[in-house]
Amino acid sequence: MSTSPFASKSLSSHLVRGIVGFGLLGSGLVLSALVGPVGLVLAPFGLIALRGCPGCWVVGLVATLSNGRSRRVCVDGTCELVPADLAPAADRTGA
């Protein structure tokens, strides 16, 4: 089964990474207003928790939610996404 590189193994781990990442980014911004640029020290750790950027985290959330729920089926040169339970048996191997 092929998955997105942004997807996490579980929804709970992905949400925890989001809470930590956005929390550190927000804290860094708030602290920068209070103590100056030194407060931005937390921001890189927030980006690490989000695996690069907030947009990447959102893409990963969508990929984690849809993981295994749809399959790409190609017939006569045209491909489309269909629910996994409606995909032909030959396509369920991930080939």
Residue of 52, 57, 55 whose CA lies nearest to 19: 57
Residue type, 57: W
- Domain for residue 2, yes or no? no
- Domain for residue 42, yes or no? yes
- Domain for residue 82, yes or no? no
- Domain for residue 6, yes or no? no
How many domains are contained in the chain? Answer: 1
Tens digits of residue pLDDT in 29-53: 999 999 989 989 999 999 999 988 8
* Residue 88, pLDDT above cutoff 70: no
Domain residues for the domain of 51 are 11-67
The H or E element containing residue 54 is helix 54-66
pLDDT band for position 76 (50/70/90)?
Answer: confident
* Residue for token pair 């921001």: 43
Q: Do residues 6 and 18 make contact, with C-beta atoms less than 8 angstroms apart?
A: no
pTM of full prediction above 0.75: no
Neighbours of 15 (CB within 10 A): 14
- Domain for residue 59, yes or no? yes
Residue of 60, 34, 38 whose CA lies nearest to 49: 60
Residue type, 39: G
- Domain for residue 78, yes or no? no
